[in-house]
Amino acid sequence: MKKMSRRTIAKGLAAAALSPLARPAIAQGTFPNGVGTIKLVVPYPAGGATDVIGRIVADRLSALWHTSVIVENIAGAAANIGMDRVAKGPTDGSTLFIVPPQIAINQYLYAKLAFDPEKDFVPIAQVANLPNILVVKKQLAEVKTVKDLIDYAKKNPGKLNFASSGSGTTIHLSGELFKSMTGIEMNHIPYRGSAPAMNDLVGGQVDLMFDNAPSVIGQVRGNTVTALGVTTQSSVQGMIDAGKIKVLSILSRERPSFMRDSATMADAGLNVDAGLNIGLYVPAGTPAAIVSRLDAEMLQILKDEAIRKRFVELGMDVTPVSQAALTDRIRSEAARYKTIIEQTGVKLN
């Protein structure tokens, strides 16, 4: 199998996101009136799942509004740089924002933020849900289920290491939540991103990981996945041969549409729901008419079967909810992560 670099894969996904999609035949007028080019900020580098989602949303809004909606990647500091830029940016409808759970997490990880995540942004719609998946290295032959893992950890306290894409990420906090709920001891090994962490998991240097679904979906399906109409190797599958890791469980209460046959934490008697809930936001102060129009049109976009299919192929479920429901979900997530962070003492500078 020909291997692909992370940079090549990222470029391929980003380019595929811009490839022509079947757009809905809807004759809408230019909106917002008089704004001109609209920026959709993604607080992460190009090529990742959040970026791909942003480009799909931008493409559809461009079609509906008959205006240019461009993606601007403002990465750094666990999304804080992008969030700060949006919080201090224009409120005339020219700035939109795609952001995952950091909007509910970072206020508890950092001693001080330059913005207020609860007051400086208005949630519009939840776009997609990317559950985390518990995977273990192949060398743990005796571990085939979540119960096996718990039993092994209790018999070997402190022996297991779990990798993450960095301290304070949902991948890291999922491991801390699992530890607190099961009473086991594991050592956290943070990496600079999911790909190097997965590399070491495959190589057996670390024992397990609670990675995002798109990173491991190629392992579940086989050698290739279809992303945005382009058949390519997944970020993991492009670096490793199949069968080097074992999928134990999805960290969600329900099975996602793309993994109907996989076990969930609920099957092991654990109430664990962790992953990325990615939503569309605008800066506080954006006119109510624009907020209302975005809310309605995002729900319409997310009902499009072509969009839903593309997201599922990437290892995401489309989960459209109302603006009020999204606000409640953010508050619930913030309370949950606050408890985990306080229990573990995780802090970032």
User: For residue 236, what pLDDT is reported?
Assistant: 38
Residue that wins the pLDDT comparison between 277 and 174: 174
**The two domains 6-22+31-129+275-344 and 130-268 share their CATH topology (first three levels equal):** yes
pLDDT tens readout for residues 42-62: 998 887 778 888 999 999 999
Closest CA to 276 of 47, 6, 48: 48
Q: CA 310 → CA 59, 106, 112, 114, 225, distances in Å? A: 14, 29, 38, 36, 11
Mean pLDDT for the chain?
A: 80
Whole-angstrom Cα distance, residue 82 to residue 75?
A: 6
**What is the Cα 76 distance to its own chain's centre?**
16
The CB density around residue 328, as the number of other CB atoms within 10 Å, is: 12
CA distance 335 to 329: 10
Q: What is the pLDDT of residue 24?
A: 45
Q: Other CB atoms closer than 10 Å to residue 221's CB: what's the count?
A: 17
**Span of 9-18, 73-82, 121-130, 171-180 with lowest mean pLDDT:** 9-18
Q: Does residue 1 surpass a pLDDT of 80?
A: no
Q: pTM of this prediction? A: 0.77
Nearest to 6 by CA among 192, 163, 130, 170: 192
Cα four-point dihedral sign 202, 208, 211, 214: positive
| Rounded Cα distance, 24 and 62, in Å | 11
Position with higher pLDDT, 297 vs 5:
297
pLDDT score of 14 more than 60: no
Q: Identify the pLDDT of residue 220.
A: 47
pLDDT(299) > 50: yes
Residue 219 has pLDDT above 50, yes or no: no
Contact 169, 191 (CB under 8 A): no
| CATH number, domain 130-268 | 3.40.190.10
pLDDT number for residue 9: 40
DSSP letter assigned to residue 315: T
Tens of pLDDT, residues 97-120 = 998 788 989 999 998 999 999 899
**313 pLDDT exceeds 50?**
yes
- Does residue 155 have a pLDDT over 90? yes
Long-range pairs for 138-146: beta carbons < 8 A, 24 or more residues apart = 138/204, 138/243, 138/244, 138/245, 138/246, 139/204, 140/207, 140/208, 140/246, 143/246, 143/248, 144/246, 144/248, 145/248, 145/263, 145/268, 146/248, 146/249, 146/263, 146/265, 146/267, 146/268, 146/270
Could you tell me which CATH number the domain at 6-22+31-129+275-344 has?
Answer: 3.40.190.150
Q: What pLDDT is attached to residue 287?
A: 93
Calculate the dihedral angle through the C-alpha atoms of 18, 322, 89, 67, rounding to the nearest 10 degrees: 40
For the chain, the structural domain boundaries read 6-22+31-129+275-344, 130-268
Q: How far apart are CA 207 and CA 191, in angstroms?
A: 14
Confidence of residue 15 (pLDDT cuts 50, 70, 90): very low
Region of residue 191 (phi > 0: left; psi between -120 and 50: alpha; otherwise: beta): beta
With 70 as the cut, is the pLDDT of residue 3 above it?
no
